[in-house]
Amino acid sequence: MFSGKTRFSNCLIFCLTGLLGLLFVAPSRGQDSADLNKWLAETEIALNSVSNYTALFHRVEMVDGKLIPEEVTFLKFKQPFKVYMRWVNPSKGQESLYIQGANNNKILAHGTGLTSLISVNLDPNGNTAMQGSRHPITDAGLHNLVRKIVSNAKKARDAGELVSQDHGEKTVYGRKTRELEGILSKDKSKGYYCYRCIVNIDTETKMPIKTQIFGWDNRLVESYGFEQLKLNPGLTDKDFDSKNPEYHF
């Protein structure tokens, strides 16, 4: 016969052992990196069938140690790589057009006010085109964004350095999304693009309609959003023609 005190001790040990087993053998869904990679795999598959799209593109980036105010542009994109942008806020009316392999691989652009009267050709990596930006226009678009997220997530997963968290359903730009977070190594020398990334994936289209990227000091360095995203609306060469009567080049 065991005393009541002994039975209580054994019961406590049994409960603690079971609890530890749950913690270490069956991690919670929020810690399961397979969830993030599963969603990203679905995004890659869905994006393979997207050849063109339009959106209100939201951009916030840290430049020279400061976050620039949010910039909103109306974006048209078509594969293999054609980009048209018209600024909504700020610099309303400013336009840029870039077609890979055309115009000597220069951006055709004009500003606002008096500068709207003259269109100029800009080197995508030059100081003027890069002013207030972390990336050239050649990095724009969903395809490049998804490629960057997927490559970093896969590299971290294979190295056992990915912690993924599922924050559940969130509404973004009026769309139902699944908010997922990937936390990578905080060792910058490992070669990852960032320390962590929060991505909101549209549950219907599987597109990442909002992405927030944090540096190694855990500060926001980039935020990109695709509001009113329309996939495969049937954009044609006219949408990327500087002589389009709707444009002002």
pLDDT tens-place string over residues 79-102: 999 999 999 999 999 999 999 999
What tokens does 58 get? 């939201």
Over residues 196-215, the mean pLDDT reads 98
Tell me: the pLDDT tens digits for 21-45?
333 333 333 444 558 999 999 999 9
d(CA 196, CA 186) in angstroms, rounded, equals 9
Q: What is the pTM of this model?
A: 0.85
**33-93+136-237: CATH homologous superfamily?**
Lipoprotein localisation LolA/LolB/LppX (2.50.20.10)
What tokens does 100 get? 């890979």
C-beta of residue 90 within 8 angstroms of C-beta of residue 82: no
The residues spanned by each domain of the chain are 1-27, 33-93+136-237
Question: Phi/psi zone of residue 92: left (φ > 0), alpha (ψ -120 to 50 degrees), beta?
Answer: beta
Residues with Cβ within 8 Å of 153's Cβ and at least 6 positions away in sequence, in order, are: 36, 37, 40, 162, 182
For residue 18, pLDDT beyond 90: no
Estimate the crossing angle of helix 33-47 against helix 142-158, to 10 degrees. 150
